[in-house]
Amino acid sequence: MPRCLSYIRVGISAEGWARCARRAAEGSRFCRFHEDAVNGVVLGLWVNGFPERSTARTGPGTKDKQAPQRQTAESPANLDSA
């Protein structure tokens, strides 16, 4: 029986990952735990829709960049000078 395709965190490092050592469930490519997790995520996205995409996370203590402002028809940059 093949091993689970998922990876799990190793220790407290955010960059350390190791392959799940459990056997894949029959008829699946994931162990029961990871199969339930994947199914839960897919169901949640299907029911609630995909979240809006945001900027990449930055390190602690840093502020996100302000989003560029849209220019509208009333914006001074779009007014014709007579």
- Structure confidence at residue 20 (pLDDT): 95
- Read off the DSSP letter of residue 72: -
Which are the contacts of 23, defined by CB distance < 8 A and separation ≥ 6? 1, 2, 3, 4, 31
Verdict on whether the full-model pTM lies above 0.85? no
21: tokens are 């050592």
Q: Which pLDDT tens digit goes with each residue over 1-49?
A: 799 999 999 988 778 999 999 999 999 999 999 999 999 999 999 998 8
Domain range list for the chain: 1-51
- Residue by residue, DSSP assigns 4-71 as P--EEE-TT-SS-EEE--SBPPTTSSS-HHHHHHHHHHHHHHHHH-PPPP-PPP--TT-PPPPPPPPP
